[in-house]
Structure 1
């Protein structure tokens, strides 16, 4: 049994760990135009800098979730923090865009270890009555990381260099490591005695890699070939997991648990609809409106503070009332914001675009805590690591899909042409198309979320 002080310190360390990746993602988002200028890259290559992170995190989340169940969540959480340290140093010293993309992929692998264990650790050390609030606090820390990343990205890029961004998280990671080692005794290995399914790990990671690379390179023939190979790997993975004694993902967890399956589906669809908007707005502010990195980062900071301030409140609402109602209210906010942004153009005042973005991110604050609480609550304790890894995989797959759609749109509108001031009308055209696609996806997430709540007995 973990003491009350130990629970508080665990929450603090997990919150710190959960803030690191968002900090680097947000800071780099603001700095993306400057990075593109330094490395002279086209929009498609530039988009792979954030996409590589989400791709790696999505690939390794489920395997690391199962590995954490077997060998210990505390151990894997600490290894993930160490990977953050090394990959951040590589990114800070990257001489080319290719090295930076590789470093971000490495960071994504470390993030997978953190994401696969953070919610599960909280679920294990905290009582059920505090779970929603704790998850809300942890998600708030993630959004706080985004907010600080936007601030640091703008200021450091304007006054110094984007490379310093990757040095800022190092002491935070060291602090989180120290807190966990000092205040969380023992280990949390709920499925000890079993072995990780190595063939299943290879098939699952290969599936995600091939599908996402295929999506991002459509409509080229190699994209279609990668997709076909990815679906073949998926079929082999399903066959393997239904026959092995110790699968990395027990498919019965989904086939026999409708609330869990639907909630994960809602996370995937909603995240695909909402995530890339922040990336697009960084480009919009700096290429269309002509703002410098400092001002662009300040605006994105303000919208992130809205989310961080609301997400804890949303967690408490989900504890006291209907989690499904809270999540659907968040989706409605996002749908409204995307409806406005679908008509973004030269005539739209920047204030209207910013207000629509604020509505979108506020919706995210209300969507995440209740849906995540539903996922953890629907899983058995021995499968907390896998359940946490699964929902985070859906979130990161959604992010990757969102960025893959963006890459396809940029390839269509820009080709190998660099984004520059004279191409601002082309950027606005691509944003209109993208926001309309995201609007359709956000609307589609509404019935899935409702059905997840109804299956679990919490629909409004």
Structure 2
């Protein structure tokens, strides 16, 4: 259960932070969609590099501890993005790289943690539950952000005049994401040190 919750949160925060950064790069920094896409590639590229290393680490160390450390790294990213308007482009790229490190470090041990808790006959069910948790995390994050934007910005089209509203919406969703990330990190460490 803890592993599925952590997966839900990891995909909640990764999906919504990418979505917010997309808006921020285009409407605050003024980049076109191509340049924005190239900049946003930094996080997934780092994830691709870190995941195999994380997989090897998960064979040697406790998966909950590794996932908890990764979630703590992601907490730092979410907290940083609470102040997105203060971050220059160079620091935003660093934040995206750190997010890639955190998510790349998180996924292999958390997947292994969830899938090793069940009998071999139940692997299919456990795997589908884990995948569902991730997809629901993405959907809930975007739905939450849409509601926040609707409350703060209203029915206006996204443009230069809505930048203050976008930044305010980012503050709210990143504060929510920070609290959720902290809860996942605490639960992962608690499950290790309380249940062994």
The structure 1 residue matched to 2:135, chosen from 385, 393, 396, is 396
Which residue does the alignment assign to 1:407?
146
The structure 2 residue matched to 1:306, chosen from 43, 46, 58, is 46
Which residue does the alignment assign to 2:22?
282
1:447 corresponds to 2:186: yes
- Pairwise mapping of residues 423-434 of structure 1 onto structure 2 (< 5 A)? 423-434=162-173
Contact 2:45 2:100 in 1 (8 A): no
Determine helix, strand or coil for the equivalent of 2:49.
helix
Q: Report the number of matched residues.
A: 196
Which residue does the alignment assign to 1:265?
5
- Pairwise mapping of residues 15-94 of structure 1 onto structure 2 (< 5 A)? none
Contact 2:40 2:96 in 1 (8 A): no
With a CA cutoff of 8 Å and minimum separation of 6, indicate the structure with the bigger relative contact order: 2
Distance 1:456 1:263 in 2: 14
Q: What are the Cα deviations for residues 381-409 of structure 1, in whole angstroms up to 9, with x where unaligned?
A: 11111110011111111111111111111
- Pairwise mapping of residues 295-334 of structure 1 onto structure 2 (< 5 A)? 295-334=35-74
Taking structure 1 as the reference length, the TM-score comes to 0.41
1:342 corresponds to 2:82: yes
Report the alpha carbon displacement of residue 268 of structure 1 after superposing the two structures with TM. 2.1
Distance 1:426 1:262 in 2: 35
1:292 corresponds to 2:10: no
The structure 1 residue matched to 2:96, chosen from 353, 357, 375, is 357
What stretches of structure 1 move > 6 A for 4+ residues in a row?
none
Distance 2:195 2:133 in 1: 19
In structure 2, do the counterparts of structure 1 residues 404 and 316 end up closer, same or farther at CA, with 3 Å as the change threshold?
Answer: same
Q: What are the Cα deviations for residues 411-455 of structure 1, in whole angstroms up to 9, with x where unaligned?
A: 112221110122212211111111111111111111211234347
Contact 1:307 1:361 in 2 (8 A): yes
In the alignment, structure 2 segments of 5+ residues that lack a partner are: none
Contact 1:272 1:441 in 2 (8 A): no
Which residue does the alignment assign to 1:178?
none
Cα-Cα RMSD: 1.6
Determine helix, strand or coil for the equivalent of 1:416.
coil
In the alignment, structure 1 segments of 5+ residues that lack a partner are: 1-260
Distance 1:271 1:387 in 2: 17
Structure of higher CA gyration radius: 1
Taking structure 2 as the reference length, the TM-score comes to 0.92
Report the alpha carbon displacement of residue 456 of structure 1 after superposing the two structures with TM. 6.5
Which residue does the alignment assign to 1:166?
none
In structure 2, do the counterparts of structure 1 residues 356 and 264 end up closer, same or farther at CA, with 3 Å as the change threshold?
Answer: same
Contact 1:262 1:451 in 2 (8 A): no
Determine helix, strand or coil for the equivalent of 2:21.
helix
Contact 2:12 2:140 in 1 (8 A): yes
Report the alpha carbon displacement of residue 307 of structure 1 after superposing the two structures with TM. 1.0
Distance 2:118 2:167 in 1: 43
Distance 2:5 2:34 in 1: 37
Report the alpha carbon displacement of residue 309 of structure 1 after superposing the two structures with TM. 0.5
Q: What are the Cα deviations for residues 101-149 of structure 1, in whole angstroms up to 9, with x where unaligned?
A: xxxxxxxxxxxxxxxxxxxxxxxxxxxxxxxxxxxxxxxxxxxxxxxxx
